[in-house]
Amino acid sequence: MADQSIRATDGTGSFNAYVALPKAGKGPGIIVLQEIFGVNPWLRQIADRAAAIGFVAMAPDLFWRLKPGVQLDADNEKEFQEGVGYMQRFDQDKAIDDVKAALAALRQHPASTGKVGTVGFCLGGRLAFLMACRSDVDASIGYYGVNIPPLLGEAKNIKKPLLLHIAENDKFVPPPAQQQIKDALKPIAAATVYSYPGADHGFARNGSHAFNKEAAELANSRSLEFFRRALGD
- SS3 sequence of the chain: CEEEEEECCCCCCEEEEEEECCCCCCEEEEEEECCCCECCHHHHHHHHHHHHCCCEEEEECCCCCCCCCCECCCCCHHHHHHHHHHHHCCCHHHHHHHHHHHHHHHHHCCCEEEEEEEEEECHHHHHHHHHHHHCCCCEEEEECCCCCHHHHHHHHHCCCCEEEEEECCCCCCCHHHHHHHHHHHCCCCCEEEEEECCCCCCCCCCCCCCCCHHHHHHHHHHHHHHHHHHHCC
pLDDT at 206: 92
Give CA 207 to chain center in angstroms.
19
Report the predicted TM-score, pTM, of the whole model to 2 decimal places.
0.96
Can you name the CATH fold of 2-231? Answer: Rossmann fold (3.40.50)
Nearest CA to 37 out of 87, 97, 91 is that of 87
pLDDT at 1: 64
**How many CB atoms lie under 10 A from the CB of residue 29?**
28
pLDDT at 106: 97
What are the residue boundaries of the structural domains of the chain, listed by start? 2-231
C-beta separation of 20 from 3 below 8 A: no
pLDDT at 62: 98
pLDDT at 220: 98
Backbone angles phi, psi at 205, to 5 degrees: -85, 90
Full pLDDT tens readout for the chain, 233 residues: 679 999 999 999 999 999 999 998 899 999 999 999 999 999 999 999 999 999 999 999 999 999 999 999 999 999 999 999 999 999 999 999 999 999 999 999 999 999 999 999 999 999 999 999 999 999 999 999 999 999 999 999 999 999 999 999 999 999 999 999 999 999 999 999 999 999 999 999 998 889 999 999 999 999 999 999 999 87
Question: Could you give the residue numbers annotated as active site?
Answer: 170, 201
